[in-house]
Amino acid sequence: MDFRLSDEQTMMVETARQVGADFGLDYWRELDERGAYPSAMWAAICQAGLCGVALPEAHGGAGLGMIEMALVIEALAASGAGSTVAQLFMLNPIFGGVAVSKYGTDAMRRALLPGLCKGAVQFCMALTEPDAGTNSLEVKTFARADGNGWRLNGRKIWISAVPAAQKMLVVARTKKREEVARKTDGISLFLIDVARDGLTHQAIAKLGTRCVPASNVYFDDVKVEGDELIGTLDGGWRQLLDVLNTERIVTTAGLVGTVELALRLAVEYANERRVFADKPISSYQGLQFPLAQAHAEAACARVMNYKAATQCDQGLDYGSEANMGKLIAAQACADATERAMQAMGGMGYAKDMHVERLWRDCRLFRFAPISEEMILNYIAQHDLGMARSY
């Protein structure tokens, strides 16, 4: 165990800090107000080579790993973006990059990865359904064999960034639940165009992450070409889990960066603000302890996330680490932003102080991409050997 960063990692973090500084708190405040997508920042992230940090060199990436991606996202989130910047990484280098580089064909890699690294092609991922929810194996969206390809019918909910994306990773059943012996069989992944006959989407009004829209998506007999299957026909479930576990590493990185940012804003304010005595409100333990607690928890989540990322890069199992890091990071971030607002009193409620945006945005990650309850279920079963409760 060596926690020192290599020269290359230090350089990556420095680059991320510079990009982050160019698109600071006011940039995000303004986008949040308009509900506008952070296209300019994403373009700058890609131009600086940060989108492809963990993607293969042969296809335009830097050939590094998830640990470098985590470091980059932490720095970007802490610079002013908050947790929402992590979503841009989930969508592109994870849903697009991990899926295509690990499970796509050579032709897909050549066609998509260079554009992905440059920011020319953007991705979204459609798993969640209204009637399945967390129980993803109950998805009903069905791809019926049709000639060389398939016809897709069904409905998805809460799909992020559909209007910004050209490509959609779709999780569908290719065999009905009653036709397979194991419920994990009969699920396939497809990478299709968002702009396609029969595919429609409609944004859902929501509390936070206003810069990244989330939509209902409808598939009405959408044509899927034979070469748009990604991974194994009927055997996509394990491959999907691999993609989703890397998504947790990215989520945690965004959250620990956000804790750093929220605490910095709160401490700067509290060190200046004087109310009753001639000493700053930051001297009161009632304000200090919750912020110190969140700092300690985020520090633990960060180390756990580095472990998950390292094990992922080493080809080892990292599911428990990725889940535990995400669990604690999401709680620490919700507490840090809540207590940062409390430390600012009325000013914490003002948009100009930025913490209210961080608080709204990070709330999402207590139940997405996986909920706290499902992580605790996972830990109880896989790590503790307890009986499944559901």
Ligand X SMILES: Cc1cc2nc3c(=O)[nH]c(=O)nc-3n(C[C@H](O)[C@H](O)[C@H](O)COP(=O)(O)OP(=O)(O)OC[C@H]3O[C@@H](n4cnc5c(N)ncnc54)[C@H](O)[C@@H]3O)c2cc1C
User: Can you give the binding site for ligand X, defined by CB under 6 A?
Assistant: 124-128, 133-134, 158-160, 206, 209, 214, 364, 367-369, 371, 373-374, 377, 390
Strands (E), the chain: 123-126, 142-146, 149-160, 167-173, 187-193, 199-203, 214-224, 229-230
User: Nearer Cβ to ligand X, position 22 or 193?
Assistant: 193
Q: How far apart are CB 209 and ligand X at their closest, in Å?
A: 5
| Residue, CB closest to ligand X | 133
In contact, 91 and 29? CB cutoff 8 Å: no
User: Nearer Cβ to ligand X, position 211 or 214?
Assistant: 214
User: Nearer Cβ to ligand X, position 5 or 374?
Assistant: 374
Q: How far apart are CB 366 and ligand X at their closest, in Å?
A: 8
Q: How far apart are CB 285 and ligand X at their closest, in Å?
A: 33
In contact, 334 and 366? CB cutoff 8 Å: yes
Residue 300 token pair: 């633990």
User: Nearer Cβ to ligand X, position 217 or 262?
Assistant: 217
User: Nearer Cβ to ligand X, position 46 or 375?
Assistant: 375
User: Nearer Cβ to ligand X, position 58 or 376?
Assistant: 376
- Residue 48, judged by CB atoms within 10 A of its CB (0-12, 13-18, 19+), counts as middle
Q: How far apart are CB 228 and ligand X at their closest, in Å?
A: 18
CB atoms within 10 A of CB 157: 17
Q: How far apart are CB 105 and ligand X at their closest, in Å?
A: 23
Q: How far apart are CB 204 and ligand X at their closest, in Å?
A: 8
- Residue 116, judged by CB atoms within 10 A of its CB (0-12, 13-18, 19+), counts as buried
Cα–Cα distance, 17 to 333 (Å, whole number): 20
The gap from C-alpha 205 to its chain's centroid, in whole angstroms, comes to: 20
User: Nearer Cβ to ligand X, position 240 or 343?
Assistant: 240
Helices (H) and strands (E) in the chain, counts: 11, 8
Task: Give the angle 215-239-368 at the CA atoms, nearest 5°.
Answer: 40
Q: How far apart are CB 378 and ligand X at their closest, in Å?
A: 10
